[in-house]
A and B are shown apart, each in its own frame.
Chain A
Amino acid sequence: MQLIPCPWCGPREEAEYHYGGQAHIAYPDDPQGLTDQEWAQYVFFRDNPKGPFAERWMHSAGCRRWFNAVRDTATHRLLTVYRSGEPRPEVPTP
């Protein structure tokens, strides 16, 4: 089973986690001001790269905290993990 390193608890089995999709999607500052296109982008459209992807995970069977990871979606390799609120770290492209 794949090990995912929680930034608080260290490496734990994947089955302890829940996935949260793309990271760094901020709630719009002025939701009323968005056009339909902008609202659709916020609600329905997400990046879907083949390669490094910044995404959210929750350690639901552990500390129950959200954090972010950069994972390569082609290899499933975790490149780095970092705490929510921190900027996406530079990772060397594999």
Chain B
Amino acid sequence: MTLADVEHPDFLWRNPDPASGYDVVVVGGGGHGLATAYYLARNHGIRRVAVLEKGWLAGGNMARNTTIIRSNYLWDESAAIYEHALKLWEGLEQDLGYPLLFSQRGVLNLAHTLQDVRESRRRVYANRLNGVDAEWLEPEQVAEVCPIVDISPDVRHPVLGATYQPRAGIAKHDYVAWGFARRADEYGIDLIQDCEVTGLDIRAGRVVGVNTTRGRIAAGKVALAAAGHTSVLAAMAGLRLPLQSHPLQALVSDLLEPVHPTVVMSNAVHVYVSQAHKGELVMGAGIDSQNGYGQRGSFHIIERQMAAALELFPVFARAHLLRSWAGIVDTTPDASPIVGLTPVAGLYLNCGWGTGGFKATPGVGWCFAHTVANDEPHPYNAPFTLDRFTTGALVDEHGAAAVAH
């Protein structure tokens, strides 16, 4: 399916004013909020739903991420939810009737030290046990998959091998948001932009509405999908969360001929690169270390990324940096998300996806909608409770997440 095959009206969704109340109010019109609204209608028949977005639809991290999709996480809990998402991606263009430029071009996670090699192989074995496609590649095989990676042994961080997930890939983030938005709108769901939630109306331990810049809206249930701003919203309910909001930057080069056939990530030299359909190289790395809600980061981080990219890909030496930007990512102590119930009845939490929640978009929407509809977590998000930071049942994905997204 190409974009030309899809009828493209001027507007993919209505732009309604808020009604006085809804069965479910979703806060945050990014990928997660839109997917949640869509699956509330599609899977659970709940259509009196509004998605409230303080800016414009999908203008937050959804517009800013580097679109890497993969499911090669270490632990069973993570593999289950990310693989669920990947399977949904594989049928999503059909389901939404919208082209997403979903391209399963594979992802290489490079190993540069013996410790990397051991951890990578362990992850490959763990992935296979969970039915996730994963291979260990020797340096020459890395060069077969991606000929422009410098595998010579005399560089500062030599490539000692890589994990490879062939079913991983990229998609066009805007189309994903628009695809979900269009279908949600068709179900009669109100997508309300320019509507910031400024307060949560909680009575006798139950949420009954939200206060917004466009007035009070009654709500049977409220589902938070506000990514970097979740702590601010949770504070309105008196909840303190184990989240820290950080700038995460990315950048693109000028448009180049196709040179880069896959996605390459390196935790050790701190960079990852893919090439978008249009031809720009899309690169990023880890978060800026300080907390920040400013949607901008520090230049020295970009400088370091570029040094790392040049070391891995000498062929990029004459490319130009065209644009850089930042989003606000909500990180957790164990690099895993928090999705589930809260101590406030009718208030649900989806946050902590940090640097890696784009890939989860359909999976989150599916599971979060289930959680909201049934007032009970879906089995795939049941391990990702807020409670785990008290019980100690962490899902530590620092090895598979961290710099990698």
List chain A positions with a Cβ less than 8 A from chain B: 1-2, 14-15, 18-19, 21, 36-37, 40-41, 43-50, 53, 55, 71, 73-76
Contact between A74 and B294 (Cβ–Cβ < 8 Å)?
yes
- Extra 15 A-B pairs, beta carbons < 8 Å, given A15-B300, A36-B390, A40-B242: A1-B300, A37-B390, A40-B390, A44-B242, A45-B389, A46-B242, A48-B244, A48-B291, A49-B231, A50-B231, A73-B245, A73-B292, A74-B293, A76-B290, A76-B294
Q: How far is the CB of A80 from chain B (nearest CB, A)?
A: 16
Q: Nearest chain-A residue to B229 (Cβ)? A: A50
In the complex, the answer to whether B298 meets A73 with C-beta atoms within 8 Å is: no
Contact with A along B211-226 (1 / 0, CB 8 A): 0000000000000000
A50 & B390 in contact (Cβ 8 Å cutoff):
no
Nearest neighbor of B289 in chain A, beta-carbon distance? A19
CA distance A85 to B293 in the complex (A): 27
Residues in chain B near residue A15, CB distance under 8 A: 298, 300
**Residues on A with beta carbons closer than 8 Å to the beta carbon of B241:** 45, 48
CB contact between B292 and one of A41, A46, A76 (< 8 Å): that residue = A76
Cα-based distance from A18 to B244 in the complex (angstroms): 16
A75 to chain B minimum Cβ distance, whole angstroms, is 6
A-B pairs with the 3 shortest C-beta distances?
Answer: A48-B231, A19-B289, A40-B390
* B290: contacting residue among A1, A41, A45, A71, CB under 8 A: A71
Indicate the member of B229, B232, B293 with the most A CB atoms within 10 Å.
B293
CB distance from A91 to the nearest CB of B (A): 17
Q: Is the CB of A50 within 8 A of B300?
A: no
User: Residue on B with the closest CB to A38?
Assistant: B390
The reply on B333 being an interface residue by CB < 8 A is: yes
The CA of A40 and the CA of B392, in the complex, are separated in Å by 8
Q: Please pick, from A19, A45, A55, A73, the residue contacting B240 in the complex, using a CB distance under 8 A.
A: A45
Q: Decide yes or no: A48 and B298 within 8 Å by CB, A18-B289, A55-B290, A74-B293 being known contacts.
A: no
Task: Looking at the assembled complex, report how far the CB atom of A74 sits from the nearest CB atom of chain B, in whole angstroms.
Answer: 5
24 contacts between A and B (CB under 8 A): A1-B298, A1-B299, A19-B290, A43-B333, A43-B389, A44-B242, A44-B389, A45-B242, A45-B389, A48-B241, A48-B243, A48-B245, A48-B291, A49-B231, A50-B229, A50-B232, A50-B293, A55-B290, A71-B290, A73-B245, A73-B291, A73-B292, A73-B294, A74-B294
Q: Does B374 contact A (CB under 8 A)?
A: no
In this complex, what residue of A is CB-closest to B244? Answer: A48
Distance in Å: Cβ of B361 to nearest Cβ of chain A: 23
The CA-CA distance from A76 to B290 in the complex, in Å, is 9
CA–CA, A21 to B298, complex, Å? 17
Q: Tell whether, in the assembled complex, residue A76 and residue B296 are in contact, meaning their CB atoms are under 8 Å apart.
A: yes
* Chain A CB within 8 A of B391 CB: yes
CA distance A49 to B236 in the complex (A): 12
Q: Which residue of B lies closest to A75 (CB)?
A: B294
In the complex the two chains form, is A21's CB within 8 Å of B294's CB? no
A46 touches B298 (CB 8 A): no
**Residue in A19, A44, A76 whose beta carbon sits within 8 Å of that of B333 in the complex:** A44
Separation in Å of the B182 CB from the closest CB of chain A? 31
> B390 contacts A46, CB within 8 Å?
no
Give bound CA distance, A81 to B293, whole Å: 20
Nearest CB in chain A to that of B230: its residue: A48
CB < 8 Å neighbour of A2 from B231, B232, B298: B298
